[in-house]
Amino acid sequence: MDLRGRLQAATKEAMKARASERLSTLRLIGAAVKDREIAARGTDGDGGELADTDLIAILSKMVKQRQESAKAYEEGGRLELAQQEEGEISVIQEFLPRQLSDDEAAAAVDEVIAQLEAGSIRDMGRVMAELRNRYAGQMDFGSVGAMVKARLLG
């Protein structure tokens, strides 16, 4: 089943189970997907159907937004809101591919650098683009960027 089908099935399941918090998060995902489809449709009304890679990008962005919000809530002493954000993160992450461990991410970085024969910091953009193509939604590119930079400088 594709990602869109999994999201729709989970939404129906949450409705039947009367899981209001889960349903709320799934509806937020659905709204974000719908917004992106409408934007992709353009003025001519054609297209608009998103691929799984596009859906993964939307979900990854939603997780990142919620992580930033949870951190801000914790710093502000609003622990109940931080917990709500963490709950939404866990629901969204169910639909993302498995995250690579630090060791797996390091191996992926080394592999891409070797394949592209990257030897200097000038190659960082190419390396990061290739990593995004291969591992979208599977790694935190903020920390991977520092790893790539260290490998290319060292």
Q: Which of 52, 72, 93 is the last residue of a domain?
A: 93
CB of 113 within 8 A of CB of 152? yes
Residues 78 and 40 in one domain: yes
Q: Please give the structure tokens belonging to residue 103.
A: 């060791």
* 67, 22: one domain: yes
Judge whether 6 and 26 are in contact, CB under 8 Å.
Answer: no
The tens digit of pLDDT for each residue in 74-105 reads 999 999 999 999 999 999 989 988 888 888 88
DSSP H helices, the chain, are 3-17, 20-41, 52-75, 79-93, 102-116, 124-135, 141-153
Q: Are 10 and 57 found together in one domain? A: yes
Per-residue pLDDT tens for 99-136? 888 888 889 999 999 998 888 889 889 999 998 888 87
Q: Are residues 82 and 45 in the same domain?
A: yes
Residue 74: CA atoms inside 13 Å, Cβ hemisphere, count?
11
Q: Are residues 12 and 63 in the same domain?
A: yes
CA distance linking residue 77 with residue 60, whole number of Å = 26
Tally the domains of the chain: 2
Task: Look up the CATH number of the domain holding residue 52.
Answer: 1.10.1510.10
Task: Look up residue 82 and give its amino acid.
Answer: A
Q: Is there a single domain that holds both residue 114 and residue 67?
A: no
Examine the domain organization and report whether 10 and 59 are in the same domain.
Answer: yes
Q: Are residues 30 and 59 in the same domain?
A: yes
Residues 20 and 88 in one domain: yes
Q: Minimal CA–CA distance to 50: which of 64, 30, 66?
A: 30
Q: Do 42 and 87 share a domain, yes or no?
A: yes
Give the position of tokens 């191996």: 107
Do 52 and 121 belong to one domain? no
| Domain range for 135 | 102-153
Is residue 46 very low, low, confident or very high in pLDDT (cuts 50, 70, 90)?
Answer: low
